Amino acid sequence: MIEGTMQQRVDELFKSALSDTNNQPGLEDFHHLLQRCQQQLHQPMRVAIVGLIKAGKSTMMNALLGEEVVATGNVEATFNVNFLRYGDRPSLLVHFKNGRSPEPKPFTELADLTLRADTHRDYLLSIKYIEVIYPSPILESFNLIDTPGLLSYYKDDSENTLQFLQLHGQELTDITQSEAQGADAVLYLFSHSLATEDKQTVEMFQGPTVGHVTPINAIGVLTKVDSSWSDPNASEPMEAGNRICQRLSSHPQIRNILYTIYPTCGFLAFGAQTLTKEEWEILTRLAQLLPEERMHKLIKDVRRFCDREYPDVPIPPSQRQELFKRLGQYGIWLAYTLIRSGVNNQTQLTAELLEHSGIPQLRNLILSHFGHRSYLIKLSKVLQEIKVTSFRYQQNLQVTQQQVVNNVVGLFEKLEAQEHGFAELRVLRNYYDKKLDFDENEVTQMLEVTGESGTSCSERLGLGKLATINEMMPVAKARMHYWRKKAHDDFGSDHISITAAKVLASSYERILYRLQKAKEYLYF
Ligand SMILES: Nc1nc2c(ncn2[C@@H]2O[C@H](COP(=O)(O)OP(=O)(O)O)[C@@H](O)[C@H]2O)c(=O)[nH]1
Ligand SMILES: [Mg+2]
């Protein structure tokens, strides 16, 4: 059925539910819940960035935005949740734990509001979250939530940090879990050095659950893939990262909760996008004046690269240190080799470094996997919340009010059972649970028709954005027949695969119906 009409049906349902619960004593909370849920459906999808403290969440947030917006690097600096949403002009809105009205603040105060300072400690502790309004393109599609992170212990951390974690670690974990549970989708960040055993990382995902995490609404992100790089002769960090991701993704306990795991280097992506003219010039001088063998030797050892004066190195140590802070060991080496192999302007260097960071690919993945199904993902989240919360309310209500709540919940449950989009989501869920007996070709068709590459008819048919109706019709017909046949092949397949085949046949039938209608409008 047409997505737009589903939205209309959902809007109608909310309208009648809101009118049934309006001005009803005892149902105020339920009414407000419905109001909030209805509003959420009209807002961009909320994607929370979660993971251990120091996993690189804030750096990744800045890398996705392409600018330094949130504070990084300091455990004490990321005490508060930052809720980022689109707006023409940067500004802040501080929300408080005790529910008093949110307070507007100039954007320039963000660092002060997230830095732990003893002078206004009570004020900082009273903050629930900070709404950051910012004009970044990715925020037009998603609201992004930067969380403080889940507790873990770092042997190599400063005493200050350890003390802070002892005092507040559990609180940060609770805040992070609650944000993850409230979000529509989750980016789960973690780092995994070559020395870490897979078992340790896999166990991390078996800990306290981070929201309702399924492969439909959760993507794993391996961060800091550059951090264990120090040898120009070793393989590229992204290649090593890819190998780790493939290994981890094939683990059944991870496959059950994450769509995929993607390797990234957020730090490099952030440095690349904010590269200054001076940094470009320093890198160019290094590339032009320092022979490869010499650079090779220097970059292998951070201290050697940063600390000393050398007669043959054209850049003073202070500038080398600054460069290291901005791009890291691998980033500097990569920029050096790129310039030596012909990159001759700053824009091109930024683009090439970015390409090596995995961030543009991650952006596209977020858009295709979450973005194209965002309405359905938001709707399932909202329906789940209505069901769970109404069950809690029920206990304190009188019989007549209970009936009103039951009626409303019943109508939403009916919607979930009848809407074809939800049937498609169940097929996807079964696919990620490895319950479908489909070959490679069938899997491609299943992902396409459920919106992986886009939501238009031609994208659902795997024909890109620009196919004509006459090109689409035969494909839709052939696939509808194919899946109908599979749906009737009782002996060739199991029950779950047959049910899935029926759903997909119906998806193609719906596309065909839309194409026929479009043709009628256009030509008759
Ligand atoms: N080498 C490297 N360091 C990173 C990367 N991402 C983050 N870091 C560093 O890890 C530390 C913690 O990062 P941050 O983003 O604040 O972590 P958060 O606590 O998860 O928000 C900082 O010192 C970052 O500079 C990365 O991709 N590569
Ligand atoms: Mg942070």
Ligand 1 contact, 69 CB (< 6 A): no
Indicate the burial class of 30 (C-beta count within 10 angstroms; 0-12, 13-18, 19 or more): buried
Question: According to DSSP H, which parts of 183-224 are helical?
Answer: 198-204
CA distance 217 to 181: 11
Query: Is the domain of 254 the same as that of 339?
Result: no
What pLDDT score was predicted for residue 1? 43
| Short-list 292, 89, 52, 311, CA closest to 165 | 52
Based on the domain organization, do 98 and 163 belong to the same domain?
yes
- State if residue 328 touches ligand 1 by the CB under 6 angstroms criterion: yes
What mean pLDDT comes out for the span 407-427? 92
Assess whether 353 and 236 both reside in one domain. no
Is 266 a pocket residue for ligand 1 (Cβ < 6 Å)? yes
46 lies in the same domain as 137: yes
Q: How far is the CA of 284 from the centre of ligand 1 (A)?
A: 26
d(CA 411, CA 417): 10
Helices marked H in 104-255 — which ranges?
110-114, 121-125, 138-141, 159-182, 198-204, 237-249, 252-255
pLDDT greater than 90 at residue 80: no
* Distance between CA atoms of residues 286 and 485, nearest Å: 65
Cα(first)–Cα(last) distance of the chain, in Å? Answer: 23
User: Residues 501, 477: one domain?
Assistant: yes
148-197, pLDDT tens digit by residue? 887 764 444 556 566 666 667 777 788 888 888 788 899 999 887 766 77
* Same domain for 211 and 109: yes
pLDDT value at position 208? 56
- Ligand 2 centroid from CA 56, angstroms: 7
Residue 221 has pLDDT above 60, yes or no: yes
Rounded to whole angstroms, how far apart are CA atoms 487 and 155? 57
Task: Tell me if 58 CB under 6 Å of ligand 1.
Answer: yes
> How much is the pLDDT for 156?
47
Task: Name the residue of 54, 65, 223 to mutate for ligand 1: max ligand atoms within 8 A of Cβ.
Answer: 54
- Regarding the beta carbon of 259 and ligand 1, being less than 6 Å apart is answered no
pLDDT in tens, 57-72: 999 999 999 999 988 8
- The number of residues in the chain equals 524
Residues 283 and 297 in one domain: yes
Report the distance separating Cα 500 and Cα 505, nearest Å: 9
Nearest atom in ligand 1 to the alpha carbon of residue 72 is 16
Taking each continuous run of H as one helix and of E as one strand, the counts in the chain are 24, 9
Q: Indicate if 353 and 449 belong to the same structural domain.
A: no
**Ligand 1 mean position, distance from CA 144 (Å):** 18
What's the rounded Cα separation, in Å, for the pair 448 and 459? 7
CA–CA separation, 81 and 152 (whole Å): 18
On whether the CB atoms of residues 3 and 455 are closer than 8 A, the answer is: yes
Cα(338) to ligand 1 centroid in Å equals 24
Ligand 1 atom closest to Cα of residue 52? 20
Query: 202 and 72, same structural domain?
Result: yes
Q: Which of 371, 395, 416 is the last residue of a domain?
A: 371
Strand, helix or coil for residue 36? helix
CA-proximal residue: ligand 1, atom 26 (nearest): 224
Q: What's the CA gap between 165 and 267, in Å, rounded?
A: 24
For ligand 1, atom 18, the nearest C-alpha belongs to: 54
Residue 40 sits in a domain whose CATH number is 3.40.50.300
For residue 209, the enclosing domain spans 3-265+360-371
CA of 297 from ligand 1 middle (Å) equals 26
- What are 467-499's pLDDT values in tens digits? 999 999 999 999 999 999 999 987 778 999 999
387 and 463 part of one domain? yes
Runs of H (alpha helix) within 54-137: 57-65, 110-114, 121-125
Determine the pLDDT at residue 209: 54
Averaged pLDDT of the chain = 88
Vertex 383: Cα angle to 139 and 495 (nearest 5)? 110
CB 124 within 8 A of CB 117: yes
CB of 474 sitting under 6 A from ligand 1: no
480, amino acid identity: M
Ligand with the closest atom to the CA of 60 = 1
Residue at which a domain ends, from 371, 402, 427: 371
Asked which of 357, 392, 417 is the last residue of a domain, the reply is 357
Q: Are residues 248 and 180 in the same domain?
A: yes
Whether 224 lines ligand 1, by a CB cut-off of 6 Å, is yes
CA 63 to centroid of ligand 1, rounded, Å: 11
Considering the domain architecture, whether residues 54 and 150 belong to the same structural domain is answered as yes
Domains in the chain: how many in total?
3
pLDDT at 120: 72
